[in-house]
């Protein structure tokens, strides 16, 4: 049976989503370990997004193939009983046989939170970039408008050895300015390695006046990581939602 899992996690103390050879401290690794214990044999879990070390998720989706006599509710309860308190399986449902959480994803939504006030929010500090600067949000919005659409985002990717296409579509970049915080929300059909964090770093530089909004076209056309801005810290980034054409 193919099972879909909707997952939330605080990524602060983990080495990212993806299981790695040199550490067992990943989200995927923790979930696989518990499922494998439940089933009595190795279970492989596929995630919709390979969030980096320190990145959080409110709407991660994963799927796994395994056999069990437990109901979906019992699987969910078992996982949450044995998983660390900063990982929560929100729901487990039976999925279609061909459902793949990553390959079937049509849209992903990420948000990035910037602490903009002079005081740190001690309760939100693990989920915000502690910038504490005055930014020109209108200039950032102008730059973001240029970045929307279908482009080659190679300049906004940290993986220099990537051989696959770096063309992606960003449907919308929304920038909210609150009293003590700036929130950037990105909706697209997919994102490259570190892409959202590099986009944020570049937009911050626009907000600082270090770049003009219209230089976004030059960065996109250059297809050179060196043209874009810095990579914003991981802790400000959260995967909000993964969208599919149907429920599965």
The CATH number of residue 48's host domain is 3.30.70.580
Closest CA to 212 of 155, 160, 158, 136: 136
Q: What is the pLDDT of residues 27-36, one digit of tens each?
A: 999 999 999 9
Q: Is the dihedral of CA 104, 107, 111, 112 positive or negative?
A: positive
Among the listed residues 33, 52, 86, 248, the single catalytic one is 52
State residue 248's pLDDT score: 46
Q: According to the model, what pLDDT value does residue 246 have?
A: 66
Do the domain assignments include residue 16? Answer: yes
The candidate with the shortest Cα–Cα distance to 85, out of 37, 14, 143, 190, is 14
Tell me: pLDDT of 160 over 90.
Answer: no
**How many angstroms separate the CA atoms of 150 and 147, rounded?**
8
Residue 198 lies in a domain: yes
**Co-location of 150 and 66 in the same domain:** no
The answer to whether residue 52 is catalytic is yes
The stretch 133-152 carries a mean pLDDT of: 97
Position 100 in a domain: no
Residue 44, domain member (yes or no): yes
């Amino acid at each position: 049976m193919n099972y879909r899992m909707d997952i939330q996690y605080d990524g602060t103390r983990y080495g990212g989503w993806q299981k790695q050879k040199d550490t067992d401290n990943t989200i995927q690794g923790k979930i696989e370990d518990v499922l494998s214990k439940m089933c009595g044999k190795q279970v492989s879990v596929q995630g919709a997004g390979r969030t980096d070390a320190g990145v959080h998720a409110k709407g991660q989706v994963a799927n796994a193939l395994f056999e069990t006599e437990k109901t979906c509710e019992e699987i969910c309860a078992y996982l949450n009983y044995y998983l660390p308190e900063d990982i929560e399986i929100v729901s487990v449902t039976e999925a279609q046989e061909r459902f793949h959480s990553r390959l079937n994803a049509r849209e992903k939504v990420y948000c990035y939170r910037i602490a903009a006030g002079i005081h740190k929010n001690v309760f939100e500090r693990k989920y915000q970039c502690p910038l504490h600067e005055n930014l020109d949000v209108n200039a950032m919005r102008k730059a973001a408008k240029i970045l929307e659409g279908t482009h080659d985002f190679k300049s906004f990717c940290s993986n220099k050895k990537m051989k696959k296409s770096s063309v992606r579509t960003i449907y919308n970049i929304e920038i909210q300015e609150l009293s003590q915080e700036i929130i950037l929300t990105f909706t697209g059909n997919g994102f490259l390695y570190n892409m959202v964090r590099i986009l944020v770093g570049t937009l911050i530089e626009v907000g600082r006046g270090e770049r003009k909004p219209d230089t976004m076209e030059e960065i996109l056309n250059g297809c050179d990581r060196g043209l874009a801005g810095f990579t914003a810290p991981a802790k400000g980034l959260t995967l909000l939602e993964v969208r599919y054409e149907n429920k599965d």
